[in-house]
Amino acid sequence: MFSLNQALSPIFLDIGPITIYWYAIIIVTGVVLGLVLATKESVRLGLKDETFTDLIVWALPIAIVSARLYYVIFEWDRYSDREWWAPFAVWEGGIAIHGALIGSVIFAYYFCKKRGIPFYKLADIAAPSIIIGQAIGRWGNFMNQEAHGGPVSDWAYDTFLQYLPSFIENQMTIDGVLYHPTFLYESVWNLIIFALLIYLRRVNPLRGDIFLTYVMGYSVGRFFIEGMRTDSLYVVGNLRTAQLISIVLIIVSLVLMYLNRKKHWVTVQYNGKKRK
């Protein structure tokens, strides 16, 4: 029933001792596109054109370190009996997007304090760039044949997955078994959230709403998609870490949206005008 053509190689370029993987190329592409979008919007809203370039120079390595730290903490049993350097071996795989987001948001808050920039202003500008970067980045998982779901049932295949492009079906067929392309589900969901955030810019909501909508929107999709994956981190028993974090982020975002209005913590709209 399933096509068994050869899968795509995860290697983009291999010259002597230098190996460049598609994963890195795709991640960098997402970062560059996000940076261009954020810079253009930040200039339109009155920030200096180097604001996001200065931010990403620090935020990107911090995001990588925090993504690895998050993963190692929740997978400590895997590293506790290994060499001392094993937790630092990022090239062996093992990073988590929630860790990257937590680390980069904390640094962004510090960055805003130092530069005298309202945090919500910068976060609202960055939100569409972050989610489009995530949508693109998931295709790095596709090239590595990772972050997939469980085996596809005959019903699922006959109902909707038979319409998958052949290159996706081939890549998600591992050892003769077709797995759910959860990377694709999340990528498509992230594109939907991206479109929603761009629409919210036009609506000109209360400052902070775009960023908090991103947090909630991504978390909703991640909660359901995470339940399909086979490589999840677990907190206790069958409780998946990403699902727990997603629930917490949804609740926190809703509470902040409420308090921003109820307590008048935020009185400025996205474009900087005072709320009427």
DSSP string of 209-261, one letter each residue: HHHHHHHHHHHHHHHHHHTTBSS--EEETTEEHHHHHHHHHHHHHHHHHHHHH
Report, as an integer, the average pLDDT of 123-151: 96
In a domain, 145, yes or no: yes
In a domain, 190, yes or no: yes
Q: Provide CB contacts within 8 A for 232, sequence distance 6+.
A: 226, 240, 241, 242
Q: What is the mean pLDDT of the chain?
A: 92
In a domain, 67, yes or no: yes
Check: pTM over 0.85? Answer yes or no. Answer: yes
Number of domains in the chain: 1
In a domain, 87, yes or no: yes
How many helices and strands, by DSSP H and E, does the chain display? 10, 6
**Was 138 annotated as part of a binding site?**
yes
d(CA 243, CA 251) in angstroms, rounded, equals: 13
Q: Does position 110 have pLDDT exceeding 90, yes or no?
A: yes
| Residue-number span of the structural domain to which 86 is assigned | 11-203
User: How many CB atoms are closer than 10 A to CB 146?
Assistant: 17
Predicted confidence (pLDDT) per residue in 200-249, tens digit? 999 999 999 999 999 999 999 999 999 999 988 888 778 899 999 999 99
In a domain, 260, yes or no: no
In a domain, 139, yes or no: yes
* Lowest mean pLDDT across 66-80, 206-220, 261-275: 66-80
In a domain, 158, yes or no: yes
Give the pLDDT band (50/70/90) at residue 5: low
In a domain, 126, yes or no: yes
